[in-house]
Amino acid sequence: MTQFDNTPNNTNFTHINANGDAHMVDVTNKPPTMREAIAEAFVLMDPQTLAMIVNGQHHKGDVFATARIAGIQAAKKTWELIPLCHPLLLTKIEIQIEPDIDNSQVRIQALCRLTGQTGVEMEALVAASTAALTIYDMCKAVQKDMVISQVRLLSKSGGKSGDFRAKHD
């Protein structure tokens, strides 16, 4: 039987043990703290496509409502999608979707929160990305060259590493 080695290696990579093997970080002894992360994504599209969505004329229904639900579901399933992520009991997931008519794009912001032993950055990023992908999926019959861009973490709070706020938000 193999001996388990959860000893971190000499680098700052907490997902790599002393043997160089990838593993899920042991958070057993970390104190639970309130943690929150906000991520964003943008979907650039033709003005006609955006107008169709905003005016409720899309043949598939309410694009933003569907994308919001998809983002929420994705946040809850992040641990199933991203290797080495912990399953988390999220206590708040909020997806805000705002059309930007002047720039012919949609801005998506995803907020995830919990009190726990590990952060929620990946959950917020997966939520924003999935909401963007859902908008693309629902509108691809109308426009195939939409661009999903600028998926990034805007802020995070809580935990050992402290707070983070992106520049230029």
Q: What is the pLDDT of residues 140-159, one digit of tens each?
A: 999 999 999 999 999 999 98
| Spatial CB neighbours of 74, under 8 Å, sequence gap ≥ 6 | 81, 126, 127, 129, 130, 131
Evaluate if residue 81 carries a pLDDT over 80. yes
CB 54 within 8 A of CB 139: no
Q: 51 is written with which tokens?
A: 């107008």
**Structure-model confidence comparison of residues 60 and 11, the more confident one:** 60
Domain 33-165 CATH (choose: 3.20.20.10, 3.30.590.10, 3.30.70.640, 3.90.45.10): 3.30.70.640
Q: How far apart are CA 113 and CA 4, in angstroms?
A: 32
| Spatial CB neighbours of 107, under 8 Å, sequence gap ≥ 6 | 40, 41, 42, 97, 98, 100
Evaluate if residue 130 carries a pLDDT over 90. yes
Instruction: Please give the model's pTM, rounded to 2 decimal places.
Output: 0.88
Q: Please pick, among 137, 145, 163, 169, the residue that the annotation labels catalytic.
A: 137
- Give catalytic status of residue 21 as yes or no: no
Where do the structural domains in the chain lie, given as residue ranges?
1-26, 33-165
